[in-house]
């Protein structure tokens, strides 16, 4: 059993969310973490139980927030686009945004705020450069629908898709250094090859840890 | 003639000799008031439930709302009704009296045994009336701190309260951060809005317009401005309910009649209901006390003591917060709670925030709203684990019960 699978089993995380374990593994033990868009709190729990983290969350859906708080997690109802501005500089070691960047109104501002509030930002997002998506647009001439991205264009909450290359370019633009990066295949497992073009074509998701330059 | 005391004499009795524990502070231990004077002597009437552990780490202070009192989880000595928060406080409840030592005291300015305008002013031998200095939320909290000192408790496991009780929670967390491990301000605000003050002013004017108020000296005359106080209660009661809840409960239904009477009788059920609320209130509450507690809320603006920044009030706090609002509460709306949350985030505090969906308005915090109960339980259980308090006995015993 790999370390990831072991900690996954221990933490009873949904097996389809192996990306959560990858994100958790980018976080130091006993650090302070803010999870933006924490959903039902699966990552917060994983971080608290496996890495002894002081974990807080923000979640847009009231249902998710209430579930989290009833489980004893420290979560507030809020919006990544508007509520990150209220947090002071350097309040956290890590600010995490998993599978949410593409649903924000101002991804660049959100990312900048994350790097202001935290020493590190960890972002996971669906890669719009994946060959299956490219093929759907190229050959069917339709907006793509994949197992990861199931919504039709007219009802999707995902309004700001990007490719892995786009994300790397944005990181450079906002003066962020990429500390670690990994692309995941359709099963959520890391791709063996690490060339950026390979990631951009075969990665279904990108997971990156950023920090401020200088 | 019945030998039972009337409600009116029962409520008078609670002022002088309450059915509660009491602690007296003499002239050597005056309460410094925001109004600038010292209040002495001071009596605090309080109730406790459960047992204080040997480390004195399991005490929860429950702060009551405007017209609430210390009778949180026992039969009320005047009305005979159950305690006002029995859905939350008791064995196996979120504020579990099998695990925690629960304290609740009547606020200064109240009328259930703690010093208030109906108490005897030792300088005159008559009731204080309006000679009692105006009391603030901070004064109430200072008095509670004196009680907590008296009980030998350094640090409270939690301070919890709704509405005006929530204001006290916020004041506790700001004034005594090291003495509050966890804080639950519910359906409250960090300052009274213009609309809040306006509604309170309507209530006060109703009381003062009643000829039986006698410029506040009604007790000397053996009177009580019941008409004014009832109107004040009726107006306030509307603010505790949502439009939807009133509509659902009463709509335009008529009261025990088939058609309108074309008079000013209580034709509508909602009129009858409000009249009942007003009339039953005056049996248990002192009119001057109503002036004092409403004034205390109006003066509340926590940020004002911290250079106008609520975030500064909570800067660097280690207290764990759980802020709760109800989406149909228009008295202390969700936006007021959200402002508290933003300040707590800016102050770097550990905070949870839930907005509970219900159509029951401000009063929802007093009612059995399952999502609210679950939230409270989750927050307090997690805080208890962080505090190192043992889990509930039932959980410890569970493995023994799982016998196949």
Provide the mean pLDDT of chain B. 94
pLDDT at residue A212, as a whole number: 92
pLDDT at residue B221, as a whole number: 95
User: Mean per-residue pLDDT for B263-269?
Assistant: 95
CA B346/CA A110 separation, integer angstroms: 17
pLDDT at B176 over 90: yes
CB-CB under 8 Å, B378 with A72: yes
Return phi, psi of residue B61, to 5°: -95, 125
pLDDT at B293 over 90: yes
CA A181/CA A194 separation, integer angstroms: 9
Question: pTM (2 decimals)?
Answer: 0.90
Task: A12-16: list long-range contacts, CB under 8 Å, 24+ apart.
Answer: A13/A42, A13/A46, A14/A42, A16/A188
CB-CB under 8 Å, B354 with A66: yes
Residue among A68, A70, A118 with most chain B CBs within 10 A, to mutate: A70
pLDDT at residue A9, as a whole number: 47
User: Mean per-residue pLDDT for B233-251?
Assistant: 96
Residue ranges of domains in chain B: 7-191+303-401
Reported ipTM exceeds the 0.90 cut: no
Q: Which residues of A touch B316 (CB under 8 A)?
A: none
Q: What is the DSSP letter of A43?
A: H
CA A45/CA B225 separation, integer angstroms: 57
B163 a catalytic residue: yes
pLDDT at residue B2, as a whole number: 39
- Exactly one of B210, B267, B329, B363 is catalytic; name it: B329
pLDDT at B7 over 90: no
Q: Which residues of B touch A32 (CB under 8 A)?
A: none
Structure tokens at A105: 């109104």
- Check whether the bond before A28 is cis (ω within 30° of 0): no
Confidence of residue B152 (pLDDT cuts 50, 70, 90): very high
Confidence of residue B29 (pLDDT cuts 50, 70, 90): very high
Tell me the count of A-B CB pairs closer than 8 A: 65
Per-residue pLDDT 10s for chain A (214 aa) are 344 544 544 445 555 567 788 899 999 999 999 999 999 999 999 999 889 999 999 999 888 998 899 888 999 998 999 999 989 999 999 999 988 999 999 999 999 999 999 999 999 999 999 999 999 999 999 998 887 788 899 999 899 999 999 999 999 999 999 999 999 988 888 888 888 888 899 999 999 999 998 7
CA B376/CA B378 separation, integer angstroms: 6
B362 a catalytic residue: yes
Weakest mean pLDDT among A60-74, B150-164, B215-229: A60-74
- Reference A77, options A108, A95, A56, A97; nearest CA is A56
Place of tokens 């406790």: B48
Residue B344 to chain A, least CA–CA distance (Å): 9
- Reference B19, options B57, B92, B56, B74; nearest CA is B74
Beta strand B350-356 pairing with B320-326: parallel
Q: Which residue has the higher pLDDT, B401 or A143?
A: A143
CATH number for the domain harbouring residue A164: 3.40.50.150
Task: State pLDDT tens for residues B103-125.
Answer: 999 999 999 999 999 999 999 99
pLDDT at B269 over 60: yes
User: Mean per-residue pLDDT for B168-173?
Assistant: 98
CB-CB under 8 Å, A83 with B345: yes
Residues of B with CB under 8 A from a CB of A: 320, 322-323, 341-342, 345-348, 350-357, 371, 374-375, 377-379, 381-382, 385
Buried (b) or exposed (e) across A18-54, using 16+ Cβ within 10 A?
bbbbbbbebbeeebbbbbbbbbbbbbbbbbbbbbebe
Confidence of residue B8 (pLDDT cuts 50, 70, 90): low
Question: Which residues are within 8 A (CB) of B30 and not within 5 positions of it... i.e. 6 or more apart?
Answer: B38, B39, B40, B42
What is the rounded radius of gyration, in angstroms, for the C-alpha atoms of chain B? 21
pLDDT at residue A2, as a whole number: 46
For chain A, the domain total comes to 1
Place of tokens 């009802």: A155
CB-CB under 8 Å, B371 with A66: yes
Shortest CA distance from B348: residue in chain A: A91
Residue B342 to chain A, least CA–CA distance (Å): 6
Weakest mean pLDDT among A179-188, A201-210, B17-26, B84-93: A179-188
- Reference B228, options B253, B210, B250; nearest CA is B210
pLDDT at residue B394, as a whole number: 62
Structure tokens at B341: 């949350």
pLDDT at B398 over 50: no
CA torsion, ordered B14, B114, B98, B176, to nearest 10 deg: 170
Give start and end residues of each alpha helix (H) in B55-117. none
Question: Which residues are within 8 A (CB) of B14 and not within 5 positions of it... i.e. 6 or more apart?
Answer: B77, B78, B111, B112, B113
Weakest mean pLDDT among B8-22, B200-214, B271-285, B291-305: B8-22
Whether A69 contacts chain B with CB within 8 A: yes
Provide the 3-class DSSP secondary structure of residue B299: helix
CA A200/CA A133 separation, integer angstroms: 11
CB-CB contact of A101 with A110 (8 Å): yes
Candidates A62, A70, A77; nearest CB to B378: A70
Residue A167 to chain B, least CA–CA distance (Å): 28
Residue B291, burial from CB neighbour count under 10 angstroms (0-12, 13-18, 19+)? buried
CB-CB contact of B62 with B37 (8 Å): no
CB-CB under 8 Å, A87 with B345: yes
User: Which residues span the domain enclosing A44?
Assistant: 3-212
- In CATH terms, the fold of domain B7-191+303-401 is Rossmann fold (3.40.50)
Partnered with residue A124 across adjacent β-strands are A98, A207
SS (H, E, C) A108-172: HHHHHHHHHHEEEEEEEEEECCCHHHHHHHHHHCCCCCCCCCCCCCCCCCCCCCECHHHHHHHHH
């Amino acid at each position: 059993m790999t370390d990831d699978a072991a900690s996954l089993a221990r933490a009873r995380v949904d097996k389809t969310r192996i990306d959560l374990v990858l994100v958790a593994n980018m976080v130091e033990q006993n650090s302070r973490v803010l999870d933006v868009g924490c959903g039902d709190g699966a990552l917060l729990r994983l971080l608290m139980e496996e890495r002894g983290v002081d974990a807080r969350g923000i979640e847009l859906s009231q249902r998710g927030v209430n579930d989290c708080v009833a489980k004893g997690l420290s979560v507030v109802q809020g919006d990544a686009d508007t509520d990150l501005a209220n947090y002071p500089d350097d309040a956290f070691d890590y600010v995490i945004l998993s599978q949410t960047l593409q649903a924000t109104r101002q991804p660049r501002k959100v990312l900048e705020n994350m790097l202001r509030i935290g020493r590190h930002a960890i972002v996971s997002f669906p890669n719009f450069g994946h060959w299956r998506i490219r093929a759907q647009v190229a050959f069917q001439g339709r907006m793509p629908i994949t197992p990861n991205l199931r919504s039709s264009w007219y009802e999707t909450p995902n309004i700001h898709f990007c490719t892995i290359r786009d994300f790397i370019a944005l990181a450079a633009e906002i003066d962020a250094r990429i500390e670690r990066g990994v692309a995941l295949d359709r099963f959520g497992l890391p791709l063996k090859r690490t060339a950026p073009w390979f990631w951009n074509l075969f990665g279904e998701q990108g997971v990156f840890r950023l920090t401020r330059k200088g | 003639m019945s030998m039972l005391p009337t409600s009116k004499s029962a409520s008078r009795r609670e002022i002088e000799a309450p059915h509660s524990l009491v602690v007296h502070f003499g002239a050597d231990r005056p309460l410094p008031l925001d109004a600038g004077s010292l209040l002495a002597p001071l009596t605090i009437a309080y109730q406790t439930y459960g047992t204080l552990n040997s480390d004195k780490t399991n005490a929860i202070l429950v702060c009551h709302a405007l017209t609430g009192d210390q009778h949180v989880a026992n039969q009320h000595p005047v009305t005979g009704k159950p305690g006002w928060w029995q859905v939350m406080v008791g064995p196996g409840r979120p504020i579990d009296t099998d695990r925690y030592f629960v304290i609740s005291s009547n606020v200064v300015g109240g009328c259930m045994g703690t010093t208030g305008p109906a108490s005897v002013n030792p300088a005159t031998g008559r009731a204080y009336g309006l000679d009692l200095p105006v009391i603030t939320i901070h004064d109430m909290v200072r008095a509670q701190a004196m009680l907590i000192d008296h009980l030998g408790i350094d640090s409270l496991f939690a301070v919890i309260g709704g509405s005006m009780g929530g204001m006290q929670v916020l004041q506790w967390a700001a004034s005594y951060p090291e003495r509050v491990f966890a804080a639950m301000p519910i359906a409250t605000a960090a300052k009274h809005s213009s609309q809040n003050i306006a509604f309170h002013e309507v209530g006060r004017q109703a009381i003062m317009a009643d000829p039986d108020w006698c410029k506040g000296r009604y007790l000397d005359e053996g009177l009580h401005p019941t008409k004014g106080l009832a109107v004040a209660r009726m107006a306030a009661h509307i603010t505790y309910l949502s439009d939807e809840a009133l509509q659902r409960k009463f709509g335009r239904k008529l009261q025990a009649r088939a058609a309108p009477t074309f008079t000013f009788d209580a034709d509508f059920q909602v009129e009858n209901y409000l009249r009942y609320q007003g009339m039953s209130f005056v049996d248990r509450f002192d009119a001057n006390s109503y002036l004092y507690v409403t004034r205390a809320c109006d003066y509340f603006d926590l940020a004002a003591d911290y250079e106008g920044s609520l975030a500064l009030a909570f800067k660097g706090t280690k207290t764990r917060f759980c802020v709760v609002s109800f989406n149909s509460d228009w008295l202390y709306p969700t936006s007021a709670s959200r402002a508290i949350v933003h300040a707590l985030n800016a102050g770097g505090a550990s905070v949870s925030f839930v907005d509970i969906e219900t159509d029951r308005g401000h009063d929802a915090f007093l009612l059995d709203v399952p999502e609210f109960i679950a939230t409270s339980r989750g927050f307090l259980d997690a805080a208890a684990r962080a505090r190192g308090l043992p889990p509930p006995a039932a959980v410890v015993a569970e493995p023994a019960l799982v016998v196949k």
